[in-house]
Amino acid sequence: MLRSLWGGTRTERFANPSEAAFAALLDAFAIEWRYEPHTLIIERRGELPLAAFAPDFYLPRFSRYVELTTLRQRWVTVKHRKLRRARAACPWLRVTLLYRRDLAEILAGPRPAEPLPPGSVDRAAAEVVSRWRPAVPWLIGLGESGDALRARLGRALEMPSSSVLLERCGGAARPQIAPVPPAGADLLLCCGTLDTGLACHLALRACWRTAPRSVRVIAPRERERRRLVDLPLLVRPWEVAGERRGEGIVAGLAVAAG
């Protein structure tokens, strides 16, 4: 059984509890969603529709569909085939496919901190210097890995810094930045791994509420396959010994312009 950190009680309108738990997660991170709003025709014979695809969720702000696959492997294969046909029939289609394991990990809350890739702090420091010197950005750490990157960058470059704490308040995630950076600062949000983008999206909104001059994101890892929220990333990958590329992990330096 899938367990959700975020709870949620809206089960009557969904096909299964997994969809209800995912909707509660989107609500917690203030992401607007629609449930099965569109049916896409993926095969026709003349004017007669022969096959259709109705993704589970639509995120209108990001023009992205989300399909949940929590069934047996035999049905997962069928859904893969239908998704390939949908993408061939609708090249503009943007769909994130989440498997049962993906959903369980996302609903469980923040992942344990991962060690920073070897050399990532040096590369991040060089990127910061090349982009911001002589200005000094204010570093903000998100999560344990992001805080580790923030702390090491702060020591290496002697920059002021803060941390983002995501608190639960009535089933919703509430970001708190402490200490609050001064208005007009250039903010650099440090993340360990960009995964779904939900926490990063919420943290960026908190950053903009401090009236900064600019906000950017830096991260040494990215899991783009599970991305739900768009971030305008510039990714320059580098090889990292022992990195598990089979899981869709890109080891590199990701910088997002705010």
| Predicted pLDDT at 74 | 64
Asked if residue 80 and residue 23 are part of one domain, the reply reads: yes
| Predicted pLDDT at 249 | 39
Asked if residue 87 and residue 169 are part of one domain, the reply reads: no
Residue 183 lies in a domain: yes
Asked if residue 210 and residue 90 are part of one domain, the reply reads: no
Q: Which residue has the higher pLDDT, 53 or 227?
A: 227
Asked if residue 251 and residue 126 are part of one domain, the reply reads: yes
Residue 6 lies in a domain: no
Asked if residue 162 and residue 74 are part of one domain, the reply reads: no
Does residue 119 register a pLDDT over 60? yes
Asked if residue 131 and residue 45 are part of one domain, the reply reads: no
Number of structural domains in the chain: 2
Residue 75 lies in a domain: yes
Does residue 238 register a pLDDT over 60? no
Report the CATH number that the domain containing residue 200 is assigned in CATH: 3.40.50.2020
Does residue 6 register a pLDDT over 50? no
- Residue 143: give the domain boundaries: 120-257
Q: Which residues contact 51 (CB under 8 A, 6 or more apart)?
A: 41, 42, 43, 82, 85
Q: Of 73, 107, 141, at which residue does a domain stop?
A: 107
- The average confidence (pLDDT) of the chain is 77
Asked if residue 124 and residue 95 are part of one domain, the reply reads: no
Asked if residue 96 and residue 48 are part of one domain, the reply reads: yes
Cβ 69 vs Cβ 98: under 8 Å: yes
Residue 216 pLDDT class (50, 70, 90 cuts): confident
Asked if residue 145 and residue 46 are part of one domain, the reply reads: no
Q: Of 107, 128, 156, at which residue does a domain stop?
A: 107
Cβ 200 vs Cβ 194: under 8 Å: yes
Report d(CA 46, CA 241) in Å as an integer.
53
Asked if residue 243 and residue 124 are part of one domain, the reply reads: yes
User: Which pTM value belongs to this model?
Assistant: 0.79
Report d(CA 59, CA 64) in Å as an integer.
5
Does residue 129 register a pLDDT over 80? no
